[in-house]
Amino acid sequence: MSATSPDPRQGAPAFIPLEANPQLMTSLIHKLGVSSALGVHDVYSLTDPDMLAFVPRPALALLLVFPVSAEYESQRMAEDSLMEEYAGKGDGEPVVWWKQTIKNACGMMGLLHAVSNGPARDFIEEGSTLGNLLQQSIPLPPRERSALLERTGALATAHREAASAGDTAPPAAEDDIDLHYVCFSRGTDGGLWELDGRRKGPIRRGDLDKDEDVLSAKGLAMGALKFLAREGGDLRFSAVALAASMD
């Protein structure tokens, strides 16, 4: 990574890009150790109440998938220039965050951030791949957390199997992909957090009341809708949410 590019270094490990497919993502998080009580759901609209009503509530996390445009990169660099590199570790963190050092792993990073924060963390089974990863990650500073992810073979295997099972033929792991995932989740401090492994750290976007989630009017206004407004004219995106399973 250079001073201006947050992307993984040349020669870094690489994953096959993950399709934003709720069924595939649900299968992946269950395989990694998330209880079958949770699942990933399509979010068909961020502004239409009737469409939002299809998502079980509360929504525990929201993942946006969007193209990395010149406008986005300009906004990211401007905001990141005012931030210190995150150095948080330990049980006192309001959110747990990983720096992305694996190429094309943003889908996995988004899911990790979604299931590891807020109430979702209570649904991770003890002794599972995710349970062990989280237990080992929390005491570590960001650089060591990233190294741990790179060494976790079970994570790479589960990701490869899921990414290869999508509806469309997957690109190669080494391909340059312009789509990126960002996660919005509630922290233990009641804040709405933007979690993205390409940033300098987790970003607190505001306060959520106890009865508000990431898809509430306030949660969307502070999070996803404000994020998309900064994108300017390019509003190509898709979204999925982590919430109770429909079964």
- Domain range for residue 48? 22-244
> Would 10 be classed as within a structural domain?
no
Is 113 among the catalytic positions?
no
Phi, psi of 64 (to 5 degrees): -100, 140
> Would 202 be classed as within a structural domain?
yes
Number of structural domains in the chain: 1
Count CA atoms closer than 13 A to 159's CA, side-chain side.
27
> Would 4 be classed as within a structural domain?
no
Angle (nearest 5°) at CA 12 between 135 and 89: 30
Q: Between these two residues, 247 and 195, which has the higher pLDDT value?
A: 195
Is 183 among the catalytic positions?
no
Quickly state the pLDDT bin for 233 (edges 50, 70, 90): low
> Would 11 be classed as within a structural domain?
no
Quickly state the pLDDT bin for 5 (edges 50, 70, 90): low
Task: Confirm whether pTM is higher than 0.75.
Answer: yes
> Would 159 be classed as within a structural domain?
yes
pLDDT at residue 71, as a whole number: 80
Q: Which of 30, 113, 180, 183 is catalytic?
A: 180
**159-209 pLDDT per residue, tens:** 888 877 766 655 444 444 567 899 999 999 999 999 999 999 999 999 999
Residues ≥6 apart with Cβ < 8 Å to 224: 46, 62, 64, 184, 214, 239
> Would 14 be classed as within a structural domain?
no
Phi, psi of 239 (to 5 degrees): -145, 145
> Would 9 be classed as within a structural domain?
no
Q: What is the mean pLDDT of residues 31-58?
A: 96
CA 170 to chain centre: 20
Residue 120 is part of a domain; what is its CATH number?
Answer: 3.40.532.10
Residue (of 224, 185, 241) closest to 208 by Cα position = 185
What are the angstrom distances between the C-alpha of 137 and each of 49, 105, 133, 142?
38, 17, 6, 9
Q: What is the mean pLDDT of residues 55-76?
A: 90
> Would 123 be classed as within a structural domain?
yes
Reading the block at residue 57, the tokens are: 């509530």
Q: Which of 30, 41, 106, 159 is catalytic?
A: 106
**135-150 pLDDT per residue, tens:** 999 999 999 999 999 9
Q: What is the mean pLDDT of residues 44-66?
A: 95
Distance CA 154, CA 144 (A): 18
Q: What is the mean pLDDT of residues 234-242?
A: 84
